[in-house]
């Protein structure tokens, strides 16, 4: 692949977790109800994502790896109104530029599937195989042809923990999808896909977190918030248990964190943080979204208003619970 392709690939594929994110999002976009992710050595040597989604048609397989090949014709504005997570058509081509990729896919209507294999964008195999409906993508030896990028990776343990966090957020954002996550041959967690967020929390974080969950629901113009607040007695020493999803995507937001924490103020000691899981459905006209492949930034138009609203509703919910 050309230098330009490799540089472009670096935009999308910063580290193993970005590969996993793109592949799992593709599985979601393909309507998968079950997704298995397996990694070895922090995803540096091996990533496999298997889904039971719609698969890729034979004559689309090669095309899916072209740059700017997307079957999801979307504008950036559309992204926040529709279900599709991908829209740039850059992920597969970028991943293929910096790794050894293998794909097995079959659609419902075709009798056989396709086994496709690339080494740094060079085609090594394209053959028919028997396969279940859906797609499996294996990514081996990430950055094998870009030693400089490889050098910037952290330890296997750290890269693995990024993927683990990502998988947890994915599972929490899609309770109706059954996820299985395996690391170095061991199942780290799996979810049933029955839609029950409590069950997912239990499977990932254990019993304490779900001991007392306070259902939370609030509406304002162009805004709907649904989810759970943790018991004020279950405090954490960092913000990793404040989960915010905006229009289906996990985000980190200092504004939302501070609004949430302000609502808990009567209960929280210094340097302590609550557990909360909140889904925000926001009218796309009220936010600006900068969707960079490797991260996402959201700007709410009325930041002080949103902060005050969240603080007030959280405080109310906690007070109601005491009555």
Would you count residue 30 as binding Mg ion (CB under 5 A)? Answer: no
d(CA 195, CA 172): 10
Q: Which stretch binds ligand ADP (CB under 6 A): 52-60, 183-191, 242-250, 273-281?
A: 52-60
Would you count residue 62 as binding ligand ADP (CB under 6 A)? Answer: no
d(CA 125, CA 136): 15
Would you count residue 93 as binding Mg ion (CB under 5 A)? Answer: no
- Radius of gyration over every alpha carbon of the chain, rounded to an integer in angstroms: 21
Distance of CA 200 to the CA centre of its chain: 15
Residue 290 is encoded by which pair of tokens? 């900068």
Q: Evaluate whether 317 touches 213 at the Cβ level (below 8 Å).
A: no
Binds ligand ADP by CB under 6 A, chosen from 26, 146, 164, 253? 26
Q: Evaluate whether 229 touches 318 at the Cβ level (below 8 Å).
A: yes
Cβ burial of 267 (10 Å; 0-12, 13-18, 19+) is: middle
Would you count residue 135 as binding ligand ADP (CB under 6 A)? Answer: yes
Q: Which residue is nearest to ligand ADP (CB)?
A: 86
Q: Give whichever of 87 and 267 is closer to ligand ADP, judged by the CB atom.
A: 87
Binds ligand ADP by CB under 6 A, chosen from 9, 13, 20, 30? 30
Would you count residue 54 as binding ligand ADP (CB under 6 A)? Answer: yes
Largest distance between two CA atoms of the chain: 67
Binds ligand ADP by CB under 6 A, chosen from 8, 69, 214, 268? 69
Would you count residue 26 as binding Mg ion (CB under 5 A)? Answer: yes
- 104 closest CA partner among 141, 132, 140: 132
| Minimum gap (Å) between residue 51 Cβ and Mg ion | 12
Would you count residue 54 as binding Mg ion (CB under 5 A)? Answer: no
Cα–Cα–Cα angle for 189, 191, 193, rounded to 5 degrees:
165
| Minimum gap (Å) between residue 74 Cβ and Mg ion | 11
Q: Give whichever of 11 and 212 is closer to ligand ADP, judged by the CB atom.
A: 11
CB under 5 to 8 A by kind: which of Mg ion, ligand ADP, none does 27 bind? ligand ADP
d(CA 267, CA 318): 10
- Residues at the site binding ligand ADP, with contacts judged by CB under 6 A: 22, 26-27, 29-30, 51, 53-56, 64, 69-72, 86-92, 135
- Residues at the site binding Mg ion, with contacts judged by CB under 5 A: 26, 86, 91
């Amino acid at each position: 692949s050309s230098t330009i392709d490799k540089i472009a690939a670096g935009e999308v594929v910063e580290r193993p977790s970005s590969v996993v994110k793109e592949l799992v999002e593709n599985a979601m976009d393909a309507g998968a109800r079950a997704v298995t992710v397996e990694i070895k050595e922090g995803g540096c040597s091996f990533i496999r994502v298997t889904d039971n989604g719609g698969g890729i048609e034979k004559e689309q397989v090669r095309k899916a790896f072209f740059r700017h090949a997307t079957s999801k014709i979307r504008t950036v504005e559309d992204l926040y109104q529709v279900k599709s997570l991908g829209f740039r058509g850059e992920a597969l081509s970028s991943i293929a530029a910096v790794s050894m990729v293998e794909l097995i896919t079959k659609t419902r209507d075709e009798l056989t599937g396709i086994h496709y294999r690339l080494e740094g964008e060079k085609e090594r195999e394209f053959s028919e195989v028997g396969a279940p409906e859906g797609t499996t993508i294996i990514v081996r030896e990430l950055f094998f042809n870009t030693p400089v990028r490889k050098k910037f990776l952290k330890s296997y343990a750290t890269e693995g923990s990024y993927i683990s966090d990502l998988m947890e957020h994915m599972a929490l954002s899609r309770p109706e999808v059954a996820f299985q996550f395996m690391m170095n041959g061991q199942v780290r967690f799996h979810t049933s896909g029955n839609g029950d967020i409590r069950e997912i929390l239990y499977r990932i974080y254990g019993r304490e977190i779900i001991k007392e969950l306070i259902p939370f629901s609030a509406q304002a113009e162009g805004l709907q918030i649904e989810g759970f607040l943790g018991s004020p007695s279950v405090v954490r020493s960092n913000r990793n248990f404040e989960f915010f999803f905006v229009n289906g995507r996990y985000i980190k937001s200092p504004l939302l964190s501070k609004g949430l924490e302000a609502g808990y103020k009567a209960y929280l000691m210094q340097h302590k943080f609550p557990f909360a899981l909140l889904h925000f459905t926001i009218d796309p006209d009220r936010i600006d979204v900068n969707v960079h492949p490797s991260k996402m930034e959201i700007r709410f138009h009325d930041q002080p208003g949103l902060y005050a609203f969240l603080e007030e509703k959280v405080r109310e919910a906690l007070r109601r619970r005491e009555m």
